[in-house]
Structure 1
Amino acid sequence: MQEIVGIDPVAVTRWVDDLGIEFTGPLSFDRIGLGQSNLTFLVRDTEGRRWVLRRPPLGHLLASAHDVVREARIMSALADTDVPAPRIFGVAQDPAISDVPLVLMEFIDGQVVDTMEIARSLTPQRRREIAMSLPRTLAKIHAVNLDEVGLSDLASHKPYAARQLKRWAGQWEQSKTRELPALDDLTRRLVAAMPEQRELSLVHGDFHLRNVIVSRDNGEVIGALDWELSTLGDPLADMGSMLAYWPEPGEDTGGDFPASTLEGFPNRAEVAQIYLDETGRDPQALKFWHTLGLWKVSIIAEGVMRRARDNPANKAAAGTPTVERIDALVHKAREIADAAGI
C-alpha cells in the first residue's frame, strides 16, 4: 500500500471498515485542494466510490487551531437543515488510527472554482448563476436555529464586532512589517462606528467563491466547505467578508484571484441586494461589515507577507501578498467607510 505523508493507509482502511462503510479495497489517498491549513485527501476505492478525509496540518499546532473535530461537529449539526454541507461519516480520535484526529466525510461531485483558469472557462451565464447562489447560501447558514441543532454553545455570545476588532487589531500589532497610519485610522473609525448587535447566528467565518462546490448543471451551491473558522456572531459579518473578496473591474484588491471581475459576475451592490432581499437585514450595518472585511483581509495579507519574509519556506504556491495590494485593500476600505459615513 502507498505511503502517504500525514496518514497511515492501513489503519485508516481498518477504521473505514469499522464505520460500516461499504468499499472494495484497496483504498487510494490523494491530496486535494489549495488549502494551507487542514490537509484534505480524496479517498477512492477500486469501484470508483469517493470520500473526503481531513486532518490538521503537519507540525506543531496551537491548541485551538485547525480543530477538525469542532469543524465536524458543526457540519454534523447542519445535516437536517437547508445548508448544503457535506455529510460526516466518522471522526477518529484513537492513537491506534492516527496521532491526530481524522474526519471522514461525503464527497460532493461538483465544481470548485478556485483558480482563474477554471473561472475563465465558465460562460458568463454560469458565472452569474454561481454568484446569485452565494448570498442565498449565506442566508440559509444564517437562518439555522442554533438551539434546535445544538450549536448555541459553540462560541461566545458577546458582541461580535468588538470581538473581531480586538482580535485583529492585536494581530496587526504582532504581524505588521511597517507603520501604516491609514490602517490605524481605519481601526479607530471602525471601533467608533460599531453597530449594535441585534441578533446572533452561526457565522461561517470564511465564506467565498473558493470555499464552495457548485453544481455543474446550474451553478447552484451544493456544498459549503471549510467550517474551521465558524463561530457565533453577527450574520452580516459573513456577507461583508464575501464582499471584501469581490473586486470589481478596474480594482486591484483581488490578488491572484480576481475572478469576480470577469464578465457575467454581478457587481457587489447586486450581490449584496440579493442577500438583503432574502434576509431583510440592515444595509447600513452591512457597509460597516464590508469595511471591516477589507480591513481584516489587509491584516491577514500583511501576516502572510511577514511570514514569507521571515522564512521563505512559508511562501504559498499561490503567491505572497505585496505591499501594493495591502495598501490597495486599505484604500478601498477607507473609500467604503467614507461613503458610509463611518
Structure 2
Amino acid sequence: MDLLTSLTPLDGGWSGETFLAEVAGERSVVRIFAGPRHAEHAAEIQEVLLRLVRGLVPVPAVKEVRRADADAEAPGLLVTELLDGVRGDVLLPALDAQGQGVVGGRLGTIAATLAGMPHVAAGMFVDATLRVRPFAPDLEEWVAQHEDLLDWSDADLAGLRAVAAHAQDRLDEVGRVSLVHGDLNLKNVLVDADTLEITGVVDWEFAHAGSPYADLGNLLRFDREPAYADAVLRGWTQLRGDDPATARERARSADLVALVDLAARKDANPVAARAHDRLLVIARSRDLHATDQSRLLTSE
C-alpha cells in the first residue's frame, strides 16, 4: 500500500494517531503508534489480536503491519479495512428504549465472548506471542499507588480504600484470567443504524489479559440507562451463566482499576475528568454502584 497518500484524522479518539487513508479509490484506517506510551511491538500485538478474535467478534481485517524501527525513527503502523457503521456513542442517544436494548444485548454478548477466551496469567501483552508483563498490585495496592495523584481528603481516601477492599474480595471469587479489550465502550464500537448489528469493535490499544469482568464493567461505567444496561447484563449472562446481580457487582469491582487510573489523570481528557467525578461519588458513598453527583458537594 502506498502510504504517501494524504491522511485524514478520524473522529472519536484522544490520541490523534488514527487516520483515514484512500489509495486508488479504496479507503483504509491507518493507526500510527507514535510516542513512548506504546509498547515496542504495539502494531504487531494489535495485528495478532485482530486475527485471533476475527470470526468471534466483529473486527476489521488487517491489510498491513509495519514494526517500529527505532534506528530509523519510524513508528509502528497498522493498516486495516474501514468498516461501515455509526459510532455507538453517537447512535445510542438517538435510539428508543427498544433500540438501546438491542444494542446493549449485543454488546453484552461481545463482552461475554471475550471473557470466554482464557489466558494463563494477567498482564499487559509485550510482543506478538501475547506473552505478558504481569500485573503486580491488587486493588488495594493499586489505590495506594495513586493516592498522591488523586489529591483527596483523608475521608475520601478512606472511603476509596474501603471500596477497594470490598471489590478485591469480589474479584478473588473469580479465579481466572481472560482476554480483555480494555476500552470496550460505545465510542469504540460501530453499529449499523438500520439493523443495529455491531459491525466493528475497534481500538485494541489497551488490550491485555485480566479480569473476565473488566470489559463488562467498562460497558456499564457511564451508560446506565435501564434499557441499555439491563440488556448488556442479559447478553452477558445468557452466554456466561452468571446471576445478573453478581455479574454487575464483579463488573464494577473490575472496573475500579480503570476508574482509579483515569481519575489520577483527570486533566488529560473529558473521559478522565468524568471518571474522577464518578470515583469520588463511589468513595464518598462507599458504594460501587453510586451515581449521585450531590455527594461531590460534601465529604462524608
2:56 is aligned, of 82, 89, 96, to 82
Question: 1:111: which partner in 2?
Answer: 86
Question: 2:123: which partner in 1?
Answer: none
TM-aligned CA distance change 1:155 to 1:245, over 3 Å:
farther
**C-alpha separation between the residues in 2 aligned to 1:171 and 1:35?**
27
The TM-score normalised by the length of structure 1 is 0.68
Structure 1: which amino acid aligns with 2:39?
A: S
State which structure, 1 or 2, has the greater radius of gyration over its C-alpha atoms.
Answer: 1
Question: 1:177: which partner in 2?
Answer: 151
TM-aligned CA distance change 1:183 to 1:66, over 3 Å:
farther
How many Å apart are 1:124 and its aligned residue?
Answer: 4.2
Question: 2:22: which partner in 1?
Answer: 44
Stretches of structure 2 that go unaligned for 5 or more consecutive residues are 121-127, 291-300
Instruction: Give the SS at the match of 1:114.
Output: helix
How many Å apart are 1:141 and its aligned residue?
Answer: 2.4
* 2:77 is the alignment partner of 1:102: yes
1:131-170 matches, within 5 Å, as 131-144=104-117, 153-155=130-132, 165=139, 168-170=142-144
Structure 1 stretches of 4+ moved >6 Å: none
Stretches of structure 1 that go unaligned for 5 or more consecutive residues are 1-9, 14-26, 248-260, 309-313, 338-342
How many Å apart are 1:238 and its aligned residue?
Answer: 1.9
Paired residues, number: 280
**C-alpha separation between the residues in 1 aligned to 2:32 and 2:183?**
18
1:233 is aligned, of 210, 215, 228, to 210
Identity of aligned residues (%): 21
* 2:42 is the alignment partner of 1:67: yes
TM-aligned CA distance change 1:330 to 1:72, over 3 Å:
farther
How many Å apart are 1:232 and its aligned residue?
Answer: 2.1
8 Å Cα contact 2:140-2:168 kept in structure 1: no
How many Å apart are 1:212 and its aligned residue?
Answer: 0.7
How many Å apart are 1:132 and its aligned residue?
Answer: 1.8
Structure 2: which amino acid aligns with 1:75?
A: L
**C-alpha separation between the residues in 2 aligned to 1:319 and 1:142?**
25
TM-aligned CA distance change 1:278 to 1:183, over 3 Å:
same
* 2:8 is the alignment partner of 1:30: yes
Larger RCO (CA under 8 A, 6+ residues apart): 2
Question: 1:121: which partner in 2?
Answer: 94
Question: 1:210: which partner in 2?
Answer: 187
The TM-score normalised by the length of structure 2 is 0.76
**C-alpha separation between the residues in 2 aligned to 1:207 and 1:38?**
19
* 2:238 is the alignment partner of 1:277: yes
8 Å Cα contact 2:85-2:199 kept in structure 1: yes
